[in-house]
Amino acid sequence: MQPPVGPPTRTKNLAYFLERASRIWPRGRALSCGRDEHATYTEFAQQAARIGGALRTTFGLAAGDRVAIVMKNSPEYLEVLYGLWYAGLVAVPVNAKLHAREIAYILEDCGAALCFVSAELAGAIDNALPRVVVGAREWTALQDARPVALAPVRSEDIAWLFYTSGTTGQPKGAMLSHSNLRVMVLAFFVDVEQLLPGDSMLHPAPLSHGSGLYSIAAVQAGSNQVVPASGQFEPGEIYELIAAYPGAFFFAAPTMVKRLVEAPQGAAADTTNLKNIVYGGGPMYLADLRAALNLFGYKLGQIYGQGECPMTITTLGRTMHESATDARLTSVGVPHSVVEVQVVDDSGDALPPGAVGEICVRSDVVMEGYWNRPDATVAAVRNGWLHTGDMGAFDADGFLSLKDRSKDVVISGGSNIYPREVEEVLLAHALVAEVSVVGEPDAEWGEVVVAFVVPLPGKTVSEKVLDQFCLDRIARFKRPKRYVFVDALPKNNYGKILKTELRELLDG
């Protein structure tokens, strides 16, 4: 980490957004659970300040201590998050769907001093670690704590330790500073959406991920934040909340958008209140996007980002969708206003439009580094540029198309084959529900393309039919040499397909 720059101030603290909102909209709805109001902005700020006070006095925590949040989505989750920032502490949100061993790894790696945990998840936490079980006696005691004054912080002080999803190994903690996340909020308002007081941000996606990050923008705008009463993503419930809340906006993984479109409630749902569904976190295939646009209209926007550059690399805003060609819709849009993005070759030299290389980003939104991983930090951030590990190409107008993770590119007979291109073709077949393409070592070609295919429920499709389907649409050398038909694709808790597990199936 870099040495402190300048004196600490309270206005640099992300929780200042909440304190400010409580003064401007004191009786404005801030937190809701399902159809029920949970807190106004005054009540939200007071609760966060009391939690912060208890952490500093009752628990004796000091500025910079890490506190984990292992909770299902709830209004209390956001109260805890902002309470940590009120006290100048570092939030470590942990996906509640992780295995107990994965949670234990993160808690040990970050050196958590305390853990907030939902009652039903308490068994996954080591008893040796101090904890607050939400809803239990120790949680109730927090309500009587003396509120803490907003802690002064420096811009580079860490606010959020974001653990990567770990699809290729042990997750690393990306250190996101108060300044990083302030720049993210600026990019959101400039390039993604204009939230207003009275608008409603729904939280069907995990608060430990993009939905929680975007909560900061909702607080800054004085919008109401609505957690589904179920605490999770249920398409029917989301449609009910859209109908109930004006200016409804939410972040969703592409798989969630697909489930909304396919849900039986979708055709008759009242989506008049829907303002924007921002999708990201994985590939949105063209057929799925077209189906969503047909159902919702032009109320979808895309963002491409990483934990290391949270939610802020490129964007394809909802207005851009209106006139977009298929090629444009399969891109991830243009660089955010607050970042520089370039595509480089193996030597780090920028490539011209049309050429495929690694995507690199330079911006004040890029992480401070990886927690306790100086070697990984040096490898990822070189000469001020974050090397994302993603492969892509710009077109002549500056729209970026993702090809694949650099490790996922299949090199067969000396030619690069990008799995997503093959996946897009196969997904266009009427009998294919899902597909994932990987490379398999081959003595003659180096690697060959293998497609894992999930047919539509109750349907079958032959390898011969799919092979001809590919031959009619892409170069012969790109088509899969083998098809593996499976009932489901392995995914992590954010809905990302685990290609590592698919490769292990080939090895087995």
Task: Look up residue 189 and give its two tokens.
Answer: 């308002």
- pLDDT score, position 444: 72
**Where do the DSSP E strands lie in 105-208?**
114-118, 131-134, 158-163, 173-177, 200-202
> Given this model, what pLDDT does residue 285 score?
82
> How many angstroms separate the Cα of 384 from the Cα of each of 172, 238, 341, 366, 476?
20, 41, 12, 9, 40
pLDDT at 413: 65
**Residue 230, Cβ density class (10 Å: 0-12 exposed, 13-18 middle, ≥19 buried):** middle
pLDDT value of residue 22: 98
Report the distance separating Cα 494 and Cα 13, nearest Å.
28
* pTM of structure: 0.84
**Which part of the chain is CATH 3.40.50.12780?**
16-402
Cα-based distances in Å from 427 to 253, 349, 440, 469:
18, 34, 21, 11
Q: At residue 425, what are phi and psi to the nearest 5 degrees?
A: -65, -50
β-bridge partners, 114 = 67
Rounded to 5 degrees, what are φ and ψ at 502? -65, -40
| Per-residue pLDDT of the chain in tens (508 residues, 90 and over written 9) | 454 567 899 999 999 999 999 999 999 999 999 999 999 999 999 999 999 999 999 999 999 999 999 999 999 999 999 999 999 999 999 988 887 888 899 999 999 999 999 999 998 898 889 999 999 998 998 888 999 999 999 999 999 999 986 544 578 999 999 999 999 999 999 999 999 999 999 999 999 999 999 999 999 999 999 999 998 899 999 999 999 999 999 999 888 898 999 999 999 999 999 999 999 987 788 988 999 999 999 999 999 999 999 999 999 999 999 988 998 999 999 999 999 999 999 899 999 999 999 999 999 999 999 999 999 999 999 999 999 988 899 999 999 998 866 678 787 865 678 788 889 889 999 999 999 999 888 877 778 899 999 999 999 999 999 999 998 888 788 899 999 999 999 987 667 788 878 988 887 6
* CATH code 3.30.300.30 region(s) in the chain: 412-507
H and E: helices and strands count for the chain:
16, 26
- Nearest residue to 450 via CA among 472, 422, 474: 422
Quick one: CA dihedral 67, 153, 304, 293, positive or negative?
A: positive
- Going from the C-alpha of 204 to that of each of 24, 84, 235, 466, the distances in angstroms are 27, 23, 9, 35
Q: Which of these, 85, 93, 73, lies nearest to 32 by C-alpha position?
A: 73
* CB-CB contact of 70 with 94 (8 Å): yes
Task: Say yes or no: domain 16-402 is CATH 3.40.50.11750.
Answer: no
Identify the DSSP state of 313.
E
Count Cβ atoms within 10 A of the Cβ of residue 259 and give its class: 0-12 exposed, 13-18 middle, 19 or more buried. middle
> Left (φ > 0), alpha (ψ -120 to 50) or beta: where does 412 sit?
beta
* Architecture of the domain made up of 412-507: 2-Layer Sandwich (3.30)
> Where does residue 347 rank: exposed (0-12), middle (13-18), buried (19+ CB within 10 A)?
exposed
Per DSSP, 240 falls in state H
426 phi and psi angles, rounded to 5 deg: -65, -35
